[in-house]
């Protein structure tokens, strides 16, 4: 190949590469865009928006909302800011979404509480909001809540109010809210989900105010009433504990072999028997001597262990030998 021809081919390749790069760098609508600020910039609408990329076009949508910019409007903006793009008639709309999270109910309840107390709500109450569909606020912000025009019904606990919500990066928003201020009691609730068979520890429960109407019968009100108890059924976090869902741990099961301790003046003996009933620690159960078929009453003091109640007399059957005479492992 002549040198001139090779040079021409090289020049054409370089030009083609430049054209391709220019084509790739041409401004184009961005389609769907997510932003986390209160204003819309030119760069939100176009890729490669040029020197005016950070120019502010206007307010962003409210947190959690979106706006759509159609092709005609895009073309007008491109012309105004010198963006080298023209609407070709295809679907060139840009959708701008603003990130947002619902305001936490705790912020609203904190603002409601003093006003409800001033309206003669009970001294101890829990607030149940009438909706979970609360307004959005920008992520990472601490909203400011003001409650106005509160109306409270002392008979049924219902209330209505107007709430003004504001946070950095958003316009103030006003909305109506209703709910109930329900009389509450301080009870033991599950700190986490508890599964059947678990033994309740201090880390599993906490004290919490719960609406009185939602409390089951036998609700536990002291931590001491729950600690060491065994869970009978699954208990979701935040659920009040009651005698229906927890029970004392069975230290002795019916039919189990029980080690018995018997104290007599100057003498302590041990023996084995069969439990005729199940029971937790501290329960009194009948225990059978399988050899003599005599029964004594014993207090459970550990797992498969009990001590005979002082003064308890065995109940011998006809032709049997005294229960105490059959005890083994004597020590004095």
Q: What is the pLDDT of residue 328?
A: 38
Q: Say yes or no: 111 and 28 in one domain.
A: no
Q: Which residues of 8-17 are buried (b: 16+ CB within 10 A; e: fewer)?
A: eeeeeeeeee
Do residues 201 and 282 share a domain?
no
For 30, 89, 228, 287, the CA distances from 256, given in Å and listed in that order, are 75, 86, 22, 10
Quick one: 63 and 135 in the same domain?
no
Same domain, 239 and 270: no
Q: Tens digit of pLDDT for each residue in 37-60?
A: 999 999 999 999 889 999 999 999
Instruction: Tell me, yes or no, whether 274 and 239 share the same domain.
Output: no
Question: Which tokens is 215 given?
Answer: 């409390």
> Which residues of the chain register pLDDT less than 70?
1-25, 266, 311-332
Single residue among 51, 67, 98 that ends a domain in this structure: 98
Q: What's the CA gap between 328 and 171, in Å, rounded?
A: 85
CA distance 271 to 323: 10
For the whole model, what pTM was predicted?
A: 0.62
What is the tally of structural domains in the chain?
A: 4
Residue 146 sits in which domain range? 102-184
* pLDDT reported for residue 283: 87
Are 18 and 36 members of one domain?
Answer: yes
């Amino acid at each position: 190949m002549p040198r001139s021809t090779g040079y021409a081919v090289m020049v054409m390749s370089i030009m083609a590469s430049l054209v391709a790069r220019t084509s790739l760098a041409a401004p184009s609508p961005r389609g769907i865009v997510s932003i986390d600020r209160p204003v819309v910039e030119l760069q939100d609408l176009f890729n490669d928006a040029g020197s005016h990329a950070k120019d502010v076009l206007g307010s962003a949508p409210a947190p959690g909302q979106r706006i759509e910019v159609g092709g005609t409007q895009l073309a007008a903006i491109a012309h105004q800011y010198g963006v080298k793009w023209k609407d070709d008639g295809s679907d060139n709309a840009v959708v701008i979404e603003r990130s947002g999270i619902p305001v936490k109910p705790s912020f609203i309840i904190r603002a409601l509480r003093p006003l409800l107390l001033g309206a003669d709500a009970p001294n101890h109450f829990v607030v149940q909001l009438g909706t979970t569909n609360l307004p959005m606020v920008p992520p990472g912000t601490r909203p400011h809540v003001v409650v106005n025009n509160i109306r409270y019904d002392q008979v049924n606990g219902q209330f209505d109010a107007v709430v003004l919500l504001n946070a950095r990066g958003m316009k103030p928003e006003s909305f109506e809210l209703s709910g109930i201020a329900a009389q509450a009691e301080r009870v033991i609730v599950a700190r986490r989900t508890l599964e059947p068979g678990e033994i309740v520890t201090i880390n599993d429960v906490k004290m919490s105010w719960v609406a009185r109407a939602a409390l089951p019968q036998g609700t536990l009100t002291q931590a001491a009433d729950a600690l060491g108890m065994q869970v009978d059924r699954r208990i979701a976090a935040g659920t009040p504990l009651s005698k229906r869902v927890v029970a004392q741990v069975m230290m002795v099961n019916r039919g189990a072999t029980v080690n018995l301790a018997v104290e007599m003046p100057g003498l302590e003996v041990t023996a084995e028997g069969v439990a005729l009933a199940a029971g937790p620690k501290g329960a009194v159960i009948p225990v059978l001597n399988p050899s003599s078929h005599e029964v004594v009453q014993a207090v459970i003091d550990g797992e498969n262990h009990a001590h005979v109640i002082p003064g308890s007399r065995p109940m011998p059957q006809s032709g049997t030998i005294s229960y105490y005479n059959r005890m083994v492992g004597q020590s004095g």
